[in-house]
Chain A
């Protein structure tokens, strides 16, 4: 409540600062804005910014950090009755103390009477801290407002370059926004690296990258099945690679050929129909592709292979027939096939852009030599576009490697080291999902393995993206 009032007051003060600043600047020019360096509004904005923004930032920081600071002060001293409690109960105790102080709902924990007394004492302590903290914040905000005003207001006169100063603030805002993006990314990378380091301290990197046994459960008891735990991720990498390969076998040719059709052969009418349709395909959520794979494509493929297997039964290829007869719904082929369909619009729209950027002069040159359209496409357009198309393929690969939903639903969960597309395989992304869904503690190798996998995945896609973007960029430079 008080915070809201503070915000309102701050807004009001800024408005006043704007009006006062504007008026003073105008007065210094004798009321004629033509004689001023900047428009009158800039002078007002300049003062208002200095009055409002630093105090607002302080308020924001204090709201973000206030709870933590209080918590730290509160837990610094433990009442003696707490010694009978476990560490989790203690944590709950302090949280409840803060909740009680702020009038929030308490947890469902039941406290002994003496603990309850201590809780109320702590709640009082918390109230004291938070009051002091809030008062301190408001006082400091007041100082900032005053300082901002005194810093700017006396300097206002008609020659003051208020416009440039205000634009400096805008620069700062733009910079801050871009820094947010960079810092967030950096933060994600650092947390990945940090948690991975914790993981690699219990599982050696070589075992992780090259081991062939993956069973990340850690048993509750020593005599449980699979309690040993195995963190050899090679089967996952193989599975990811296999699915990606199948996906690219579908998406590569289909996407490229449709791009060639769209950019070279399709008339304006066909293009107007096909291009938006492909873009709709790109907008389908991957989870929809996932159940399309699991419920439609999977059964169709299984039935096809099963009846194909029936043809071989009793013949010289009896073994093959038997094998095909027991193929399951979930297999690498289904996941890869559907993922390939998902990637078609991606490949085709990138390739289409690249083919379109091949200069018309090259096509004209080829036509003028008496080449047909097909010869021109094969011998001039495609070779010229090849580096860019390779870049598009690499980008598609990096998406295929990171794709999660389709493989989760259609590839299976068994970590097998195989290159047989009819087997169920599992991928890096699927394992991250299964490791982290549900209630988890973040201190066992099981959950930390997810970070190890995440880091590996991140490194691979990062390298792929860098290489791909380099290639695409280099190719673009050639014709601009």
Chain B
């Protein structure tokens, strides 16, 4: 598929699925995830309409849009978390490194080890800090011995910027940490299984500004190793942390492109209205 087609094509394509092209990813980073014709239904209700997007490797892509626009739904398609909702049905293709994640040969359990996820509300397990991080490596058999597991836990906590705060109380319950620390613990937990992609669903919406700043800093560091997709309500946050931004509205992908370009010079009037605060 050509990489540098005019983006307006994607809007026309919404009415003619199959023909559509994704918004271009600038040369440089390669494409990690390529989604085409994604339609999602909750029972009778359609939540997403013909979404097509390319998501670049080793960069942060943010999804913005008003509540209920489908951005979280789309995020959950990428690691097939929607499978856990019985009435949810997904059509279309999401290729990760050229492989369709919805293909029957893909085990969603294995997929989710490759695509980590961080939720809106910090959800550490009611276990110790250590056990929280060791959870993934244990179930996937990533460590052969105690020393190796210790090493994974330590490096994950370090990469999540939490090690210095918790190294002396690893055996205390993870639920005892502050909200921001819990969220970083959950990020460490996700990193520990060595994913390729990290999905973040409004990771800062339950946090105060200082904790938010720390998470944003962390996201910026993690970008060097992972492909990160973040759903956010805060346009300022999207502008701060992401290189590319996609704007969703009423279940459709309205526009996507480089973040600075989108915020300074949106092509679609709805995008303009949203980022200037006229609705949403």
Contacts and interface: CB of A to CB of B under 8 A. Distances in A.
A375 B127 contact: no
A371 B109 contact: yes
Interface in B112-141: 112-114, 116-117, 119, 121, 123-127, 135-136, 139-140
Contact of A362 (B116, B125, B136, B140): B125
Given A361-B119, A366-B125, A371 B139 contact: yes
B181 interface: no
B186 interface: yes
Interface in A363-400: 363-372, 375, 379-380, 383-384
Contact of A365 (B109, B140, B186): B186
The secondary structure that dominates the A interface is: helix
B113 A364 contact: no
Nearest to B118: A368
Interface in B242-280: none
B116 to A, nearest CB: 7
Given A267-B86, A383-B127, A384-B125, A366 B135 contact: yes
A375 B125 CA distance: 13
Nearest to A372: B109
B27 interface: no
- Which of A366, A384, A478 is most buried by chain B, counting CB atoms within 10 A of its CB? A366
A365 B125 contact: yes
A105 B102 CA distance: 88
Interface string A1-37: 0000000000000000000000000000000000000
Interface in A263-317: 267-268
Contact of A384 (B116, B126, B136): B126
A359 interface: yes
B60 interface: no
Contacts of B114: 370
A290 to B, nearest CB: 42
B181 to A, nearest CB: 16
B90 to A, nearest CB: 16
Contact of A370 (B84, B124, B139): B139
A366 to B, nearest CB: 7
Interface residues of A, number: 21
A122 to B, nearest CB: 76
A384 B127 CA distance: 9
B110 A370 contact: yes
B189 interface: yes
A370 B119 contact: no
Nearest to B110: A370
Nearest to B116: A368
A367 B139 contact: no
A362 B119 CA distance: 10
B193 A369 contact: yes
A256 B235 CA distance: 47
B24 interface: no
A368 B125 contact: no
B140 A370 contact: yes
Nearest to B140: A370
A369 B113 contact: yes
Nearest to A380: B125
Interface string A439-468: 000000000000000000000000000000
Given A361-B119, A362-B123, A375-B139, A369 B84 contact: no
Contacts of A371: 109, 135-136, 139
A364 B201 CA distance: 12
Nearest to B126: A384
A380 B136 CA distance: 12
B101 interface: no
B135 A379 contact: yes
B8 to A, nearest CB: 35
A368 B117 contact: yes
Given A267-B86, A268-B86, A370-B136, A364 B126 contact: no
Contacts of B86: 267-268
Nearest to A370: B113
B119 A364 contact: yes
A368 B112 contact: yes
B112 A370 contact: yes
Contacts of A478: 126
A90 B91 CA distance: 94
Given A362-B123, A370-B109, A379 B116 contact: no
B59 interface: no
Contacts of A380: 125
Contact of B81 (A267, A368, A384): A368
Contacts of B139: 369-371, 375, 379
A88 B212 CA distance: 87
B61 interface: no
A478 B186 CA distance: 19
B207 to A, nearest CB: 15
A383 B131 CA distance: 12
Nearest to B83: A367
A267 B79 CA distance: 22
Contacts of A367: 81, 84, 112
A168 to B, nearest CB: 45
B153 interface: no
28 contacts: A268-B86, A361-B121, A361-B123, A362-B125, A362-B126, A364-B84, A364-B117, A365-B124, A365-B125, A365-B186, A365-B189, A366-B125, A368-B79, A368-B112, A368-B119, A368-B190, A369-B189, A370-B110, A370-B111, A370-B114, A370-B140, A370-B193, A371-B109, A372-B109, A379-B125, A379-B139, A383-B126, A384-B126
Interface of A: 267-268, 359, 361-372, 375, 379-380, 383-384, 478
Given A365-B119, A367-B81, 11 more contacts: A268-B86, A361-B123, A362-B123, A364-B81, A364-B119, A365-B123, A370-B136, A370-B139, A370-B193, A372-B109, A379-B135
